[in-house]
Amino acid sequence: MVNPENLNAALLDAHDRAEGGRLAELYHKAASISEQVGKMDQACFYLTHAYVFALQEGLAMSADLHARLKALGREE
Amino acid sequence: MGFVQPVDLERVMRPVHQAQGLANEFYVDPNLFEQEKSAVFFRNWTAIGFCKDVPEPGDAMPADLLGQPLLVVHGRDGIVRVFQNTCRHRGMILMEKKGRLRGAIRCPYHSWCYDHDGALKTTPHVGGPGKNIHEDIDRSTLGLFPIRCHVWRDILFVNLSGDAPEFDDYAADLKARWAEFDQPLHPGGDESAFRLELDTNWKLAVENYCESYHLPWVHPGLNSYSRLEDHYNIEQPGHFSGQGTRVYRPMINEGGAPFADFEGLGDKWQAGAEYVALYPNVLLGVHRDHAFAIILQPVTHEKTIEHVQLYYATGDTAVADRSDLRAANAELWKTVFAEDIFVVEGMQRGRHGAKFDGGRFSPIMDSATHLFHHWVASQFAASLQDKEPV
C-alpha cells in the first residue's frame, strides 16, 4: 500500500521537475488508491491527470487510461 | 498620414521612366505599417521560418508574424503544419519555446491537449472534476486554428488570409526559371546560419537586394571580378525581381577543392548566378555550388531582422572536409550583407526628410526595384478596392 503522504510529496516533486512520465505513473497510482476506497469521482480526477500527462509524453498507457475513462463515462 | 490614398499609389504604378517611388509614409508611418500587415503580408505568401529548424517528427517551434502568434509543428506523420499558437479554451499561448513534442500539445493553463494535426484530444474536467466531456463542448469544432502553409526550398510560407492563389501558382514563374535547382538542399552547419538586425523598414532591404546598380559603390570587392556590365535585371511583374551575374566564380579551399555542384545544371549556370526577391519578404540566391535564402522579418516599421541560411548540394557527411570552405563562404556573404547595412539604414533615416518625394528611378538600372514598388502599391490598391491586384 502506497503511503498517501509519500505519494503527494512525490507528485509535487515530479511537478517541480516537469517529469511528465512520472506524473502519469503517480497520478495513476493515486487513482488506484481512490478507487480501492470507492471514491470514484476522485479516482476519475486522478485518472484524468494521468491521461493528460500520458498524452503529453506519448506513452502507450494513454490508450488504457482513455479506455478506462470512457468506460466510466468521463471521456469520449 | 494615417491611411494611404489612391493618388499616392498611382504615381508609383506608372512606367518606370515616369514613376515616383513609394512615399516616405510607407517607411516611417507606424499607422501605414499596420495597414501593410493585412494589405501586403497576410493576404500573400509570407515566409516565417526555415524547415531545417524543425527537422524531425515532433519538432515544434513558435513563430511570430507581425504580432500573429504561430506554431510550427512537424507532425508524427511527417507533415509540417502551422497553427495559430493559441488554445481554443482561454486563448493561452501554447508553446513559448522551440522543443520536441513527445506526444500531444498540452496547453499549460488548463491542459487541453491537441494532436499534431491540431485535433482536440481531451478537455480535462470540462464537465466538472474528473469529467472530461460536456454536451456543449464539441471537440470536432475546437481544433487548433490551421494556418495555410507551404514549404519551398526549405522555406516555410504562410498565407494568413487563406485566399491567396495556390503557392505553386504564386511562385510558378520562379519555380520554372530555377527548375534545374529543384533538387535537395542541404543546410550548412551552424556557421551557415546567421541573422542581421537592421534599423530600417523591410522594403528597403528588398529594394537594395533587387538591383546591381549599387554593387561597384557599396561592394567594391565583389566588383573587382563581377562588374556592373556583367549583370542583368530579372523582372517578373507581380511576383519577383532581382538581378543576375554572368561571371560567378566558385570558391575553392587552399588545396584547390571546390564544393560539390548541384547535379545536371546547364551551361548557363557554369558562370551564372541569380539573386531574386520573391515578394514580399524572401531574398534568394542560387549558384552552381550553393544557394542561400534570407527571410526578412519586419519587427516594426523601422526595424527588420534578416535571417540568413546557406545551403549546399551535399549533406554534412559528404562535405565534412569542406567545413573550412563553408565557414569562408558564410563569412564572405556575411561581409557582403553587412556592407549593405549602412545604405538600408541610411535610406531609412533619409526618408524622415519631409521633402523627399519617393525618388526617381533610373529607367535602366532600377527597373527591378520599381517592379517591387509597383507590386507593393498594387497590394495597397487591391486592399483599398477589395479586388485583385492590378
Domain ranges of chain A: 4-71
- In chain B, DSSP assigns E strands to 46-50, 59-65, 68-74, 80-84, 99-100, 105-106, 113-114, 120-122, 146-152, 155-159, 186-187, 193-198, 231-236, 240-245, 273-278, 282-286, 290-300, 303-312
Q: Which of chain B's residues have a Cβ under 8 Å away from the Cβ of A57?
A: 102-103
Q: Do B133 and A59 touch (CB under 8 A)?
A: no
The number of C-beta contacts closer than 8 angstroms across A and B is: 59
Domain ranges of chain B: 6-43+167-385, 46-159
Digit-coded pLDDT (tens) for B345-376: 999 999 999 999 999 999 999 999 999 999 99
Q: Do B132 and A48 touch (CB under 8 A)?
A: yes
Say if residue B178's pLDDT is above 60: yes
Q: Does A8 touch chain B (CB under 8 A)?
A: no
- CB count within 10 Å of CB B329 equals 23
pTM for the full predicted model: 0.94
- CB count within 10 Å of CB B385 equals 11
CA atoms within 13 A on the CB side of B341: 16
Q: Which residues of B115-152 are buried (b: 16+ CB within 10 A; e: fewer)?
A: bbebebbbbbbbbeebbbbeeebebeebbbeebbbbeb
Are B288 and B262 a contacting pair, CB within 8 Å? Answer: yes
Which residue in A has a C-alpha nearest to residue B140's C-alpha?
A76
Q: Which residues of B touch A (CB under 8 A)?
A: 101-104, 106, 111, 113, 121-122, 124-125, 129-133, 139
Rounded to a whole number of angstroms, the CA Rg of chain A reads 12
Which residue in A has a C-alpha nearest to residue B127's C-alpha?
A74
Distance of CA B133 to the CA centre of its chain: 42
State how far the Cα of B62 lies from the Cα of B70, in Å rounded to an integer: 6
Determine the pLDDT at residue B3: 63
Fold for domain B6-43+167-385?
A: Naphthalene 1,2-dioxygenase Alpha Subunit; Chain A, domain 1 (3.90.380)
Q: Do A62 and B103 touch (CB under 8 A)?
A: yes
Which candidate, B30, B311, B343, places its Cα nearest to that of B211?
Answer: B343
Which residue in B has a C-alpha nearest to residue A39's C-alpha?
B130
Determine the pLDDT at residue B319: 52
Determine the pLDDT at residue B322: 79
Instruction: Tell me if residue B233 falls in helix, strand or coil.
Output: strand
Are B46 and B111 a contacting pair, CB within 8 Å? Answer: no
- The closest CB to that of A41, out of B122, B130, B133, belongs to B130
Residue A38, classified by CB atoms within 10 Å of its CB into exposed (0-12), middle (13-18) or buried (19+), is: exposed
CA distance B124 to chain A (A): 6
- Higher-confidence position of B256 and B251: B251
Digit-coded pLDDT (tens) for B138-160: 999 999 999 999 999 999 999 99
Q: Does A27 touch chain B (CB under 8 A)?
A: no
Q: Does A41 touch chain B (CB under 8 A)?
A: yes
State how far the Cα of B254 lies from the Cα of B247, in Å rounded to an integer: 21
Q: Does A23 touch chain B (CB under 8 A)?
A: no
Digit-coded pLDDT (tens) for B293-307: 999 999 999 999 999
Residues facing residue B290 across a β-bridge:
B312
Q: Does A48 touch chain B (CB under 8 A)?
A: yes
Q: Do A48 and B121 touch (CB under 8 A)?
A: no
CA distance B128 to chain A (A): 9
Residues in Cβ contact with B373 at an 8 Å cutoff, skipping those fewer than 6 apart = B12, B19, B21, B22, B207
Q: Which of chain B's residues have a Cβ under 8 Å away from the Cβ of A73?
A: 131, 133
Q: Which three cell numbers stand for residue B271?
A: 558562370
- The closest CB to that of A52, out of B101, B102, B122, belongs to B122
Q: Which three cell numbers stand for residue B117?
A: 494535426
For A27, A28, A34, A56, B229, the CA distances from A14, given in Å and listed in that order, are: 11, 13, 20, 14, 67
CA distance B298 to chain A (A): 34
State how far the Cα of B113 lies from the Cα of B265, in Å rounded to an integer: 48
Say if residue A19's pLDDT is above 90: yes
Residues in Cβ contact with B386 at an 8 Å cutoff, skipping those fewer than 6 apart = none
Q: Which three cell numbers stand for residue B41?
A: 503580408
Mean pLDDT calculated for residue range B202-209 = 97
CA distance B51 to chain A (A): 23
State how far the Cα of B166 lies from the Cα of B143, in Å rounded to an integer: 24
Digit-coded pLDDT (tens) for B20-60: 999 999 999 999 999 999 999 999 999 999 999 999 999 99
Q: Which of chain A's residues have a Cβ under 8 Å away from the Cβ of B139?
A: 76
CA distance B59 to chain A (A): 14
Digit-coded pLDDT (tens) for A53-70: 999 999 999 999 999 999
Domain B46-159 CATH superfamily: Rieske [2Fe-2S] iron-sulphur domain (2.102.10.10)
Q: Do A55 and B106 touch (CB under 8 A)?
A: yes
The whole-chain average pLDDT of chain B stands at: 93
State how far the Cα of B373 lies from the Cα of B20, in Å rounded to an integer: 9
Q: Do B130 and A43 touch (CB under 8 A)?
A: yes
Digit-coded pLDDT (tens) for B318-330: 555 678 899 999 9
CA distance B106 to chain A (A): 6
Are B325 and B253 a contacting pair, CB within 8 Å? Answer: yes
Q: Do A57 and B103 touch (CB under 8 A)?
A: yes
Q: Do A75 and B129 touch (CB under 8 A)?
A: no
- Quote ipTM for the complex: 0.95
Instruction: Tell me if residue A1 falls in helix, strand or coil.
Output: coil
Q: Which of chain A's residues have a Cβ under 8 Å away from the Cβ of B104?
A: 55-56, 58
Determine the pLDDT at residue B366: 92
Residue whose cell numbers read 488554445 = B87
Residue B224 binned pLDDT confidence (cut-offs 50, 70, 90): low
Residue B6 binned pLDDT confidence (cut-offs 50, 70, 90): low
Residue B219, classified by CB atoms within 10 Å of its CB into exposed (0-12), middle (13-18) or buried (19+), is: middle
State how far the Cα of B247 lies from the Cα of B331, in Å rounded to an integer: 20
Residue from B95, B96, B120, B122 to probe the interface with A (highest A Cβ count within 10 Å) = B122
Mean pLDDT calculated for residue range B265-273 = 95
